[in-house]
Chains A and B, each alone.
Chain A
Amino acid sequence: MNKIYKVSENVVAREIEGEIVIVPIISGIGSMDDDLYTFNSTGKRLWQLIDGKKSCQEIISLLMEEYDESGGEISSQVLDLISELAGKGILVEA
């Protein structure tokens, strides 16, 4: 919960037509590997909060102020997504 993450230098992210698109830039050259991410509004907000300064706990607290879902639901969703993105190398510990 106290870990701080930042976006890896090996991915590039861009908001396209309201969606955040994340593309690994050093894998899949010449190929069409299925390793892309797109985020809708909730995921997009989480992505914006991952800035290499805020801890996971701080991010969860901010999202709890913004969304109606229970703290437990937000906490588990955030930690699951961060864990998945870190596992893929999209996020690294700051």
Chain B
Amino acid sequence: MTRIFEAAGMTFEVRSEYPISDATFHPDLSIFETKTPGADHILIEHFFSIPDRLSSLDDGNALFSRPMWTIFRLNDVWVYKKNPGLPLSRKDIVYFEFDNQFTHCKVYSDFLSRKDYQRGNYISLTLFGCDQILMSRLLADRAGFVIHSNGFVQNRKGKLLAGPSGSGKTTLTGMLRQNDFQIAGDDRMIVTIEDDRAVMHGSWLHGTNSVISRGRHPLESIFFVEQAGENKIFSMEKNSEKISNILQSLVRPFIPASEWQFLLRNVEKLVRSVDCYRLLFDLSGNIIEMIPD
């Protein structure tokens, strides 16, 4: 049995060594299900033992090593090793093996039983984490980004609330919801550049609030939010300020320098096609009526 999901113009077919049950994936993912693979199709396979070629990898030979991730180039594949850390236990390591084109992702773990898997209620297709590493890598080839932000829709236009953790994105999103704004996503939004225009996509990527939605809207504005003792919205005029804020909000993929040039070209298009604002707000809720239409 396989399941196919769609987001941001890509389809993702999930296959598994264990049978996939109705409870393997969270019901929220059902809005992304589709019956047929699209033209831009990614295969994700789940395996429940770790082959020697992966378990024997020496971290000393890694291309990249940080507490959460270690990345290797192994013959004609890329290996992303997810190191132990919350919510995994200390010994639990997961390997993601990608083909050269990043169209085939094999996920290897050895600590899930068939029962665990079948009642997993997973909200990510790779099972571990929220798929942001997979998505940010795939989007880098497709003129897109994952942006650390919440999304909402106003007059059919997409808008993002961006900023680091603790800046007040969740609080402000709650205010928008109370004022009947359509919330499009929580903490991780996908943006693509299509014909030099920015498009905001709903996806299953999310933070702690599990707000997910499907659909696409032209992206009109990005608000870089700060909780403060006043309500003010400033239009950002300096490109350096816009670029710096956008880059600091990107979920950065691991890609070579040549692909970074492509990504930065698309950041340039994003800066040209959206309005950027600095938004200060207090808890009065008065900021809502100040948000430009």
Contact = CB atoms under 8 A, between A and B. Distances in A.
Q: Do A and B come from one complex?
A: yes
B208 interface: no
A30 B248 contact: no
A28 to B, nearest CB: 5
B240 A40 contact: yes
Q: Which 10 A-B pairs have the closest CB atoms?
A: A17-B239, A12-B260, A14-B264, A38-B240, A19-B240, A16-B268, A29-B254, A12-B257, A36-B247, A28-B252
21 contacts: A17-B239, A18-B239, A19-B240, A21-B243, A21-B247, A21-B267, A25-B256, A25-B257, A26-B254, A29-B69, A29-B254, A30-B69, A30-B132, A30-B252, A31-B252, A32-B164, A32-B248, A32-B249, A32-B250, A32-B251, A38-B244
A4 interface: no
Interface residues of A, number: 21
Contacts of A18: 239
B136 interface: yes
A69 interface: no
A17 B271 contact: yes
B137 to A, nearest CB: 9
Contacts of B63: 26
A49 B63 CA distance: 30
A92 B196 CA distance: 36
B72 to A, nearest CB: 13
B253 interface: yes
B164 to A, nearest CB: 7
Secondary structure class of chain A's binding surface, majority of residues: loop
A23 B64 contact: no
Interface residues on B, range: 20 to 34
A16 B247 CA distance: 12
A26 B64 contact: yes
Interface string B117-149: 000000000000000110010000000000010
B255 interface: yes
Interface of A: 9, 12, 14, 16-19, 21, 23, 25-32, 34, 36, 38, 40
Interface string B57-83: 000000110101101000000000000
B261 interface: yes
Q: Which of B136, B164, B264 has the most CB of A within 10 A?
A: B264
A31 B267 CA distance: 17
A84 B22 CA distance: 55
A36 B87 CA distance: 29
Contacts of B253: 29
Nearest to A37: B244
B264 A21 contact: yes
B243 A17 contact: yes
Given A19-B243, A23-B247, A25-B255, A32 B148 contact: yes
